[in-house]
Every structure is written in C-alpha cells, then in structure tokens.
Amino acid sequence: METPALRAALLAWYDAGARDLPWRAGPGSAARADPYRVWLSEVMLQQTTVPHATPYFLAFTRRWPTVSALAAEADGEVMAAWAGLGYYARARNLLACARAVAADHGGVFPDTEEGLRALPGVGAYTAAAVAAIAFDREANVVDGNVERVMARLFAVEAPLPDAKPELKRLAGELVTADRPGDWAQALMDLGATVCRPKAPLCDRCPVSRFCAGFAQGDAETFPRKTKKADRPRRFGVAYLLTRGGEVALVRRPPKGLLGGMLGLPTSDWRATPWMDEEAEAAAPASAKWKDAGEIDHVFTHFALTLRVFRAEGAMEAEWTAREGLGALPSVFLKAARKGLGASFETLA
Ligand code: SF4
C-alpha cells in the first residue's frame, strides 16, 4: 500500500469538497473546531444521522453556547431538548460530562485522548474523535464506517466482529502527525458519501486506485460477516401493560436467563408459536390485549420470537415511567419499543 499517495489523494479530495457541517472548522483551517461543538456533535451522531442531528445541534448550541452553560442547566430542560434524539441515558451522560468539564477542568475540555477518555460517558471512539478533530492529535478514529472502508481498501477476508482489531490496526497505519484531524474527517466523509454500505460509488472514489476490494471487483461484499450459526428458535409473548405513563415490569426469577432482572411480563418461551387465544390466556392481567407485532432477538444458544401484546390495566408490578425503560435488557427494550411505537422516544 502506498500510504503517502493514498493519504494525499484522500486529503486533496477532502480539501476540495468537505461536507459543510455546523461543528466543523473546515479543511486545513488554522482555527481548530470548538471541542464543545465537536464533542456534542459526536454524541448526537452516535445514534442518528447528520440530517437528523443537525437541527438538534443548532438548537443546543444556540441555547447553550458553551459547555459551562450546558453544565449549569437543569436536568429536565436538557432532557426535554434531547427528546427525539434517542436514549435518554446519553443525555444524562452528556450532562455528567459537561458538569465534569465545568467543575474539574474550569470549563475547558482536556486536549488529549487520555484526558478526554477519563471524562464520564466518553468512550474510546468519542475521545479519539474529539482529540483528532478539535486538537489535531494523532488519534486513530475508528467507527463502523471506517471499519468498512478499511475492510474494502485492504480486502480483509477475516469476518466481523473478529476482524475489528485488524481493521483498527490498518486504520492506525494511515494516521500520521500530518493533519490528523482532517484525516479523520476525510475518512468519515468518504464512508458517509462514497464508500457507502450499499452500492459504494467506486467510480467517484478518490482512493479507488489503492483499493484492493475495488481491484477484485467485489468491494461491496466487504466487510465479511460471520455467518450466524443455526440456532434453535423459541417463541413467547411479552405483555406491555400501561397505566398512564407507566409500564408494568416484573423481576425475573433469580436463576436462568436474565435471572433477577426487571423485564416485561412474558409467557413461557417454547418451541412452537403462540396463538392469540393462548397468548391472552397466559397474560398476567385481564385486560383488552391488542397485538402490537413481534420482535426477534438472538441469545447465545437460541433465537427468540416474541409477540408483543399491549393493554391498559392494573396488576401487581414494579410500575416504571417510560424514560426508565432504557435500562431494561435489550430483548425487553425491543419489545417495549414495539409495543409503545413512536411514543417510546417522545414520551418521557
Ligand atoms: Fe470504497 Fe470503492 Fe473507494 Fe474502495 S474504491 S474505498 S470500495 S468507494
């Protein structure tokens, strides 16, 4: 791999046509991007797309132009502004991080990857992204998009997720002390606009002449994925009983799968699907149950199809407000989302 030529080609492409994003300083800009804005954008983009996150980003930065302003805000105000952006746990982490920067760092973000990583709620990816983009640190910024670009550029045959360390190593070999912030953003732009998951635009790609996947003619088939082993399938019913804004949760028996954890009440999980009458007969409370669809979930040793039934009613349970559902094991979270539909994200 001709690393310097590849780097030069991608950076030249970025210089000529970088996406204009409100948290960016622009390619080659002497003024670095504001770390607060970079951090905020990265947290928002972890769960949504650029077009969806942009109005939220603009609203947040208008209302709270600095990390100290955000840190001083009441929790409820920030939670309300976050509504529609996904899990509230992220908004809580956002506030915890802002308050740590305000209280422990005088309102100034640490300027190294390690310093950023030590902040509450800041993971390896966000720390690397902020270090590179805001402080031009030589950080290796690798998310799913960069993994895909690396898998294609180097035609990595090892399947995900096992290939992750190798893809990270390959990405790291392309990072140098020369413009690391622009490099990270150039790779992000390439993954978002050209080396897309489906139908990559190889004929418009600035690095196609270096791309092993393109040379082989099967670029889109990378990254390889591990074939899911055939697992037995089980079937069950989850019951979403609501009372005003609250949902009935029950604690599972201490032994067994998800032992001792809170979840939606369910039927047994068995080898054959549940018919409507059986599902209603197994319900934890008598109510006007309505079929809300079904979800699939894969456990280590079996796959589960859960029908979700929803009703308003009463039962002996741990009644939990909807914003508390984010802490449920993912199978129940999926079922709750299915049962609550659009109101899941917007009602707190
Ligand atoms: Fe991706 Fe195609 Fe460019 Fe290779 S040539 S990096 S597969 S867009």
Q: Which of 189, 205, 209, 221 to mutate to test the pocket of ligand 1 (most atoms within 8 A of CB)?
A: 205
My answer on whether 280 and 156 are in the same domain is no
Structurally, the chain folds into a number of domains equal to 2
Give the residue-averaged pLDDT of 240-253: 92
> For residue 344, what pLDDT is reported?
60
My answer on whether 198 and 283 are in the same domain is no
**CATH number of the domain that residue 298 is part of:** 3.90.79.10
> For residue 348, what pLDDT is reported?
35
My answer on whether 74 and 32 are in the same domain is yes
Give the residue-averaged pLDDT of 245-258: 87
My answer on whether 200 and 241 are in the same domain is no
Q: Which of 2, 42, 73, 173 is catalytic?
A: 42
Per-residue DSSP letter, 23:
T
My answer on whether 16 and 65 are in the same domain is yes
What end-to-end distance do the CA atoms of the chain give, in Å?
51
**pTM here?**
0.69
My answer on whether 251 and 275 are in the same domain is yes
Number of residues assigned to the chain: 348
My answer on whether 217 and 286 are in the same domain is no
Cis peptide before 65 (omega within 30 of 0): no
Ligand 1 close to Cβ of residue 153 (< 6 A): yes
Q: Which residue bears the tokens 């508390």?
A: 324
Ligand 1 close to Cβ of residue 152 (< 6 A): yes
My answer on whether 83 and 200 are in the same domain is yes
Residue 227 lies in a domain: no
- 221, 250, 276: which is the final residue of a domain? 221
Tokens for 37?
Answer: 């804005």
My answer on whether 200 and 269 are in the same domain is no
- Interacting residues of 159 by C-beta distance below 8 A, sequence separation 6+: 223, 224, 225, 226
Q: Which amino acid is at 112?
A: T
Q: Which of 13, 152, 201 to mutate to test the pocket of ligand 1 (most atoms within 8 A of CB)?
A: 152
My answer on whether 204 and 242 are in the same domain is no
pLDDT over threshold 90, residue 319: yes
> Can you give the residue range of the structural domain that contains 78?
3-221
- Residue 229 CA to ligand 1 center (angstroms) comes to 30
The yes-or-no answer on residue 173 being catalytic is: no
Ligand 1 close to Cβ of residue 211 (< 6 A): yes
pLDDT tier at 229 (50, 70, 90 boundaries)?
low
Lowest mean pLDDT among 159-173, 203-217, 307-321, 326-340: 326-340
- Residue 240 CA to ligand 1 center (angstroms) comes to 45
My answer on whether 206 and 269 are in the same domain is no
Which residues does residue 251 pair with via DSSP β-bridges, in sequence order?
262
**CATH number of the domain that residue 212 is part of:** 1.10.340.30
**Residue spans of alpha helices (H) in 291-340:** 330-340
My answer on whether 305 and 163 are in the same domain is no
- 221, 243, 267: which is the final residue of a domain? 221
> How many angstroms separate the CA atoms of 218 and 209, rounded?
14
Give the residue-averaged pLDDT of 136-146: 95
Mean confidence (pLDDT) of the chain: 91
